[in-house]
Structure 1
Amino acid sequence: MNNTSRFFHTVCGLSAICLLLLVSSPLALLAFADFNSSASVIGLPLEQAPSQSTAINTSPNQNVDAYYINENPDNPPTAAKPVYDVFTVEERQARGLVLEVPKVSQYYGEKVVYLTFDDGPDPENTPVILDILKSNSIKATFFVVGNEAEKYPDILRRIYQEGHAIGNHSYNHVYRDLYQSANSYIAQLRHTDDVIKKAIGVRPRISRAPGGSAGSFTKEYWGALNKLGYIEVGWNISSGDASSAKANRILNNIVSQMENKNLWSHAIVLMHDGRGHAETVKALTDIIKYYKERKFEFRVVNFETPAPW
């Protein structure tokens, strides 16, 4: 009888264990499935789940075809692409990194044009200009004003993501503030660098002085720009759209200046996408058509771009 009772208790115990396993197994599988699903949602395999000690990545993880200056001085510039810096001036100085611009050969083609737009981004003009450029499969260069970029970071990001070049065009574009001294000018460039980097993760190394450098820059300005690694970019073709010119007049201004064939190897066209430049938008399709019919190569401003004159 004792043997029978012992056998009975043993069988009952084993049955209870089996029942417990059957009940708990789906829960364990469900828990595992939920964990696996969570990892899949963020696009990471299980073994690559992020940790709190992840190292800082100084290479932008963006789907943008550009040349990025990082901490590696042997990273050679790539031709025909927008140029951006992973670090601000302050960050380079703090890390003891080079500030000077890498030496590259200037690019002179048979027929080359750089379409450049100043004073944006603007919510009315800039998106339409971007649409026109996209429909024509060409890239341009936008010299942005810092306080406008602060207002419209989404437009700035679109310029960047669509592969156009971005340049620094001061923070407030107010001449009496900008041109008090070389220090005040540089301070505005660095402020705008911060605004741009906050929006897109990197900053430009090309800049354009509002109103142009002639008559505003002294040797101190040029010295400060060179020391800190900024490249000042002027123009050699003015659309005349800073006045009240209508679209036809803007086009004719460009066409008449293009008669100087010495500029065909590096025609840098000044236009504006800021507030009040709807006529530039109207003229743009015909301007692009003019250059396309004459088989010009469209490029963005970068380290290879020659000086205008």
Structure 2
Amino acid sequence: MSADALGGGDLDLVAALQIAPRASMQVLAAALGVSTGTVSRRMARLRERHGVRIVGQVPWWLGGATPHHVWISTAPGSTNQVAAAVAELDEAQFVATTTGRADVFCILHPTRRADAADLLTRTLPSIPGIVGTHSEPGLHRFASGSSWRIERLGAQRERQLFEHRHGPLPAAPVPFGEEEREVAGVLQRDGRASAADVARELGKSASTAYRLTQSLLDRGLVQPRVEIEPALLGYPLEAVVSLATSASTMRDTATALATHPSARYVTTVAGTSSVIHQGVFQHDDDLARFLTDDLGRHVGVTAFEVSVVLRVLTRYWTPDRGG
């Protein structure tokens, strides 16, 4: 485990929140066998000292655009400045400096599909220090930060918490009303926002805010999740693995990789890669075993490239205090 990792009580709370991010203090306290005061103090410490947040993940198709995964090559000595400039973009969902394939890896998610061309051909190349980019749009997400979690609570406590978990993401896009989009925006920034918080921020009645909030959560249209630096959980090594596969095995490979313990983000893409696997690991040996043993089991994988994350600047649109 990393020397910077959290202690046992804090890890237990994070593990509980990964299962039930909106569970009440009373539910969390009962599951963890501590007082509500202890849970409240630990929550405040995680937030204030470590930048831990509960966010609401919204579907790709909410705005009609898919994210673009971009590898950026920079001029010598300009990598950090380029990464900082990219992190300032409104579309920047994830930004990190990396080794391997490029100097900077980012996930840029424009609000509308029509905005993607301008973002990739004008906005991004205009940043000083960028000498080249390679972009691959996402096709279908198989795993995300809302599904990755640490295992430490045991089956009984996990069952208690799963009763308070949000609904699953719909298998196919469903229509969003304008009011639902507004509420989704509030929950995206604060995944634990109450109906009262939503009503106050949007100027809606308490009953309307409650109805819209519960509808979005029950239908899985907003997926609350814990956003935390993986090193705090004992996973200091993060890597982005771009895989080329045969066409016939692309979906099966992504589906299988999404169940791997390291998988924080898995998606199929359109480009020179077929699948992107963003994973976290406890040791270099774990990454080595993943590349040689786990990927080796997938006969459809024809090639892969590895970008090891050096420093994260932005995770899910917010500056990363652990980076």
Q: Same fold (TM over 0.5)?
A: no
Higher RCO, Cα 8 Å, sep 6+: 2
More strand, by proportion = 2
Q: TM-score range by the shorter chain?
A: under 0.3
- Larger Rg, first or second structure (1 or 2): 1
